[in-house]
Structure 1
């Protein structure tokens, strides 16, 4: 099973790209499983030493990857945030080794617009995400953990999915 992780800051469009990839993989007849990594980490409270629940995420991801492989999945597509080379290695271990990381990069004004729409009824969440987006973009830039970076600001989800699949052959 081959695994792709769509990386990017909050509001980059990782989940939208994952859904478009799923549609394109279905169209091509490729057996696949889609996983929004945020769903694997949603537990409260987070331990102080692991504020983003990385340990829980990796345990859950290992189980999901094993189940997907047992079900005959050829391609596992993840949407999440990968902040370092060390974290990348741990993700690769969790999914069984084969991991390609594609970062979706979009202009900050696009991120702000998306986050403002997404958190229209959640001012505290919006404030947190608006602070986190540029901070996380800088972390991702410095990490160098991506195999590819796609400037996706003007791409439709379908076009983005096609570009990603061209890279992930």
Structure 2
């Protein structure tokens, strides 16, 4: 599809009338919405930015006549207030229980699926972590996280790591397992 002078004129006319790029593309035929937008930008046609405070016409779905924006805002505000009132009355009447989605369960009721730690090979030495904070880490320290990141006690392993790995030898073996090992563990 090429942009002929007639098509460019029609594009500029439809754009000036306020049609969307999709509507213009369907009227022109054989061109996409993105092509229309690109041509509008290349032609440097006037952008259609809505000015705040300007009275624009809004056509509600069921109304036969256009309504001023200020009136439609008042109607929408009234509808929101009505919905809030009905929700409050339903909550008071027992129809809706507030904040039940956030109710904490008792510790006895919790079903925690905590996987047991994998058995270690006999003779495997687990290094003692240096428990470094984020600020204390360097390029040659192990960045294996220890604990909950949201707790103030959160630290990193901090043992010596090689140039090629962010982890010490022990944590590198855990992090970078061969595919055959991963399949066997499952």
What TM-score range do you get, normalising by the shorter chain? under 0.3
More helix by share: 1
TM-score by length of 1: 0.20
* Higher relative contact order, chain-length normalized (CA < 8 Å, sep 6+): 1
Question: Which is greater in Rg?
Answer: 2
